[in-house]
Amino acid sequence: MSTFDEHCVAELIDANLSHWIELRHDLHAHPELRFEELRTAERVARELSAIGYEVSRGLGGTGVVASLAGKDPARAIMLRADMDALPIHEAASHDHVSTSPGKMHACGHDGHTVMLLAAARMLRELPPLPGTVHFVFQPGEEGGAGAQKMIDDGLFEQFPCEAVFGMHNWPRLPEGHFGLRAGPIMAAGTRFRIRVKGKGAHAAQPHLGVDPIPIACALVLQCQTLCARHKDPVDPGVISVCMMHAGDTDNVVPDSAELGGTIRTLSTTLLDQLKEDVTRLCKGIAQSYGVSIDVEFFQYYPATVNTPAHTALCESVLRSTFGDARVHADIEPNMTSEDFGFMLAVKPGAYILAGTGQQAGLHHPEFDFNDAVIPAGARYWVALAHRYFSGR
Q: What is the pLDDT of residue 1?
A: 36
Instruction: Report yes or no on 285 lying in a domain.
Output: yes
| pLDDT score recorded for residue 2 | 43
Q: Which of 273, 301, 329 is the last residue of a domain?
A: 301
The answer on 167 and 254 residing in a single domain is no
Rg, C-alpha atoms of the chain: 23
Same domain, 203 and 276: yes
Q: What is the pTM of this model?
A: 0.94
Same domain, 272 and 352: no
Q: How far apart are the first and last CA of the chain?
A: 10
pLDDT of residue 3: 54
Report the C-alpha gap between 24 and 366 in whole angstroms. Answer: 16
In a domain, 130, yes or no: yes
SS (HEC) of 350-363: EEEEEECCCCCCCC
Strands 76-82 and 132-138: parallel
Burial of 63 (0-12, 13-18, 19+ CB in 10 A): buried
Torsion of CA 220, 222, 227, 228, to 10 degrees: 120
pLDDT value, residue 118:
98
- Name 308's Cβ contacts closer than 8 Å, sequence gap at least 6: 182, 183
3-class secondary-structure state, position 167: strand
Please say which residue of 301, 332, 354 terminates a domain.
301
Which range marks the domain in which residue 255 is found? Answer: 188-301
Same domain as 156, residue 16: yes
67 and 165 together in one domain: yes
Asked if residue 1 belongs to a domain, the reply is: no
Residues 6+ apart with CB under 8 A from 375: 13, 17, 118
**Of 242, 266, 301, which closes a domain?**
301
Full pLDDT tens readout for the chain, 392 residues: 345 688 899 999 999 999 999 999 999 999 999 999 999 999 999 999 999 999 999 999 999 999 999 999 889 999 999 999 999 999 999 999 999 999 999 999 999 999 999 999 999 999 999 999 999 999 999 999 999 999 999 999 999 999 999 999 999 999 999 999 999 999 999 999 999 999 999 999 999 999 999 999 999 999 999 999 889 999 999 999 999 999 999 999 999 999 999 999 999 899 999 999 999 999 999 999 999 999 999 999 999 999 999 999 999 999 999 999 999 999 999 999 999 999 999 999 999 999 999 999 999 999 999 999 999 999 999 999 999 998 65
Could you give the number of structural domains in the chain?
2
User: Would you state the pLDDT for residue 197?
Assistant: 98
Q: What is the pLDDT, as a whole number, of residue 391? A: 67
CATH no. for residue 192?
Answer: 3.30.70.360
Do 48 and 165 belong to one domain? yes
43 and 127 fall within a common domain? yes
C-alpha–C-alpha distance, residues 112 and 105, integer Å:
11
- Residue 207 burial class via C-beta count within 10 angstroms: exposed 0-12, middle 13-18, buried 19 and up: exposed
Q: Are residues 340 and 313 in the same domain?
A: yes
- Rounded Cα distance, 304 and 166, in Å: 10
Distance CA 298, CA 204 (A): 38
Clarify whether residues 228 and 257 are in a common domain: yes
d(CA 137, CA 141): 11
